[in-house]
């Protein structure tokens, strides 16, 4: 049996060897279960010496493999590349910064042996994270679960142990705008959730800015829900009904009462409001159109620069 460990890395030169050491603390467990291991580092266009660090590891241990991108394509692309490259019967995704503790592996593997297809992890605390970020993250999951039929779990990490069958199913979803948390939920299968306390990153800094996360969450909404489009139609209906009511009101008023010229301020308010709503709806439509445009171009999800087996 082969276990593929996929590690996306973007400027993680310090963490590459540390991760390897930490993972190999499980070697006793791998032996006990007669598991062969391959560690696939995906270099997501790092500008530091991440690639050199991986090559050093490869010289020491042939089980270390590398796929290097031509530029930074984002973590989602790295995950996809890792799945494509993996050949294991089991595949596990882990961050290079050790926020996904490799010490949990035996526990996760236990559940796969029990017959689960996929063992996912979620952190129950967000210790060490800025409170504003945690607050918005929670709101995002709340809204998302209201407007999407796909289950997206609060605090879910990308740390997952999956069987080959699940990985192949994920690979079958070749969409360009990838939102893994949704994709995992969408493919389904029997999933066991394992909870753990948040671990802070050991070296380096998070690659996510606040705005980066906001844009990512919008991407998730557009990818896994059409509720905003329905909202646009809903607002259209509301405003049509309002307009009819206003026409009736004005007709009746001008028939039974004399109507002095006036109402300039109210007219300006109405025009501003309605044009605002129109632009908002147009914007929503534009978001979906933009994503469709990117999808239709069928560009590759990533470009390889180098590969080491």
Element (H, E) at 139: helix 131-147
For tokens 């109405």, what's the residue? Answer: 270
Write down the least CB distance from residue 189 to ligand UDP, Å: 24
Instruction: With CB under 6 A as the rule, give the number of residues binding ligand UDP.
Output: 17
Q: Is residue 97 involved in binding Mg ion (CB under 5 A)?
A: yes
Q: Is residue 13 involved in binding ligand UDP (CB under 6 A)?
A: no
Write down the least CB distance from residue 60 to ligand UDP, Å: 21
Q: Is residue 82 involved in binding ligand UDP (CB under 6 A)?
A: no
Q: Is residue 206 involved in binding ligand UDP (CB under 6 A)?
A: yes
- 164's contact among Mg ion, ligand UDP, none, with CB below 5 to 8 A by partner kind, is none
Q: Is residue 117 involved in binding Mg ion (CB under 5 A)?
A: no
* CA distances (Å), origin 308, targets 17, 19, 56, 212, 251: 17, 18, 12, 31, 78
Q: Is residue 76 involved in binding Mg ion (CB under 5 A)?
A: no
Q: For residues 65 and 40, is the Cβ–Cβ distance under 8 A?
A: yes
Report the site for Mg ion in 247-286 (rule: CB under 5 A).
none
Q: Is residue 133 involved in binding Mg ion (CB under 5 A)?
A: no
What DSSP string runs through 184-224? HHHH---EEEEEE-----SSS--S--HHHHHHHHHHHHHHH
Write down the least CB distance from residue 208 to ligand UDP, Å: 5
**Binding segment (CB under 6 A) for ligand UDP, from list 184-192, 201-209, 292-300, 301-309:** 201-209
| 3-state secondary structure string across 113-138 | HHCCCEEEEEECCCCCCCHHHHHHHH
Q: For residues 9 and 96, is the Cβ–Cβ distance under 8 A?
A: yes
What are phi and psi for residue 283, nearest 5 degrees? -65, -45
Q: Which residues bind ligand UDP (CB under 6 A)?
A: 8-10, 12, 44, 72, 74-75, 78, 95-97, 99, 201, 206-208
């Amino acid at each position: 049996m082969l276990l593929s460990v996929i590690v996306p890395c973007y400027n993680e030169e310090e963490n590459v060897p540390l991760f390897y050491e930490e993972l190999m603390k499980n070697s006793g467990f791998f032996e006990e279960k007669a598991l062969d291991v391959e560690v696939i580092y995906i270099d997501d266009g790092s500008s530091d010496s991440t690639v050199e660090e991986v090559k050093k590891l490869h010289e020491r241990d042939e089980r270390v493999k590398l796929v290097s991108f031509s530029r930074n394509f984002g973590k989602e692309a790295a995950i996809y590349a890792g799945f494509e490259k993996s050949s294991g019967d089991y595949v596990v995704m882990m961050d290079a910064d050790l926020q996904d503790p490799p010490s949990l592996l035996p526990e996760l593997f236990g559940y796969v042996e029990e017959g689960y297809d996929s063992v996912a992890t979620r952190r129950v605390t967000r210790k060490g994270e800025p409170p504003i970020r945690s607050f918005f993250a929670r709101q995002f999951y709340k809204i998302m679960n209201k407007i999407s039929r796909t289950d997206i779990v609060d605090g879910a990490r990308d740390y997952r142990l999956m069987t080959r069958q699940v990985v192949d199913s994920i690979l079958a979803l070749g969409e360009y705008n990838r939102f893994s948390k949704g994709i995992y939920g969408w493919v389904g299968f029997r999933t066991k959730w394992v909870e753990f306390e948040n671990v802070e990153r050991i070296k380096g800094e998070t690659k996510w800015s606040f705005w980066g996360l906001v844009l990512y969450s919008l991407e998730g909404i557009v990818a896994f829900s059409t509720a905003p489009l329905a909202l646009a139609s809903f607002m259209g209906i509301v405003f049509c009904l309002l307009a009819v009511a206003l026409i009736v009101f004005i007709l009746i008023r001008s028939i039974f009462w004399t109507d002095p010229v006036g109402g300039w301020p109210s007219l300006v308010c109405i025009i501003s409001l309605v044009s605002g709503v129109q632009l908002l709806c147009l914007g929503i439509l534009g978001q979906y159109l933009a994503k469709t445009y990117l999808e239709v171009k069928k560009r590759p999800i990533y470009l390889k620069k180098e590969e080491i087996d």
